[in-house]
Structure 1
Amino acid sequence: MPSCRNCGTGVKDSDNFCPTCATPQNDEASRRLNEYIDKRARGLGGGGHGPDGLRRRLQYAVGYVALVAGLTTLTAGAGVFFLLAGLVVLPPVQSLAETQLGRPLGDRPTAAAAGALFVAGTAAFVFV
């Protein structure tokens, strides 16, 4: 009976993966596992790595900061603008809007809308 490449546990000749540590036991299993991992990483926007993953993280950060600013300044009247700016930027809201419109919105229109709302909120906070 052969042993696992990684942990030494006994494995059957027909096992593609170790039952203890899940290490691939042959080249075909390794190739299939790598393909699966690559496919999942591409489907998740690189898993948070690369330009798309960084952009998505930045969208969440800006969206949450705007939402907190909106909740903080809600009584001043400016909070509504900050809340809307935060919602426009968040990826789930953007994805929902794209689904409803049937086409992608793009980064520039989203950033322009959020920027305009943020400027309006700042103006309302300063001048009102």
Structure 2
Amino acid sequence: MKSCPRCEASMDDSARFCSECGAPQTEEAAEELDQYVQRQAKQVAAQSGGIRGDGGSTGGGTGSGDVTAADVFGVAAEELTEREQLWRRGTYVLGYATVVIALTQIANPGAWFLLLGGIAILPPTRRLLGLPVGGTFKREAMAGLYAVFVVLGAVLFFVL
């Protein structure tokens, strides 16, 4: 009889896993366990995240009412399509660039509208504003809100 290197329990020589602690005893058993854990992790993530094809979440979550980082920031980048990744990167660049421009001109009243527009187009804002209604706002709605704020800000820049 051999003993488990992890917990020192006695076990049969042909055992693939320890009967006391569950540790794999062979490389093949370790690989099998790793694959099982990865499958289970994907299944749990899909069930708890309520992942949709549009990169959003159905708002299912854990049902406890707590807001998690996944609720705010959305799904991981590798779960997004190429088009969704491009949209997300573009809105981050556009949002932060608008915020920076607004902050450099903060003395002008138009800068406040630019600041609001820059914040509105950022993906976390879209998710946060959508949490009370159980989903995310449409990208088109946030882009429209951004356009309205930027146009108002630009008009105020030139009028004042």
Shorter-chain TM-score tier: 0.5 to 0.7
Higher helix share: 1
The SS at the match of 2:30 is coil
TM-score computed with the length of structure 2 as normaliser: 0.55
Aligned equivalent of 1:45: 75
TM-aligned CA distance change 1:102 to 1:47, over 3 Å: closer
Counting aligned pairs with the same residue, the percent is 20
Range with greater deviation from structure 2 (115-124 or 97-106): 97-106
Find the aligned partners of 1:16 and 1:112 in 2 and give their Cα distance.
Answer: 56
Check whether the contact 2:16–2:25 (CA below 8 A) recurs between aligned residues. Answer: no
TM-aligned CA distance change 1:101 to 1:30, over 3 Å: closer
The SS at the match of 1:105 is coil
Q: CA deviation at 1:117?
A: 0.8
Check whether the contact 1:16–1:29 (CA below 8 A) recurs between aligned residues. Answer: no
TM-aligned CA distance change 1:115 to 1:17, over 3 Å: farther
Structure 2 gap ranges (5+)? 3-14, 18-22, 52-69
Find the aligned partners of 2:94 and 2:30 in 1 and give their Cα distance.
Answer: 45
Equivalent residues, number: 113
Find the aligned partners of 2:140 and 2:88 in 1 and give their Cα distance.
Answer: 14
Question: CA-atom RMSD, angstroms?
Answer: 3.3
Structure 1 gap ranges (5+)? 2-11, 19-23
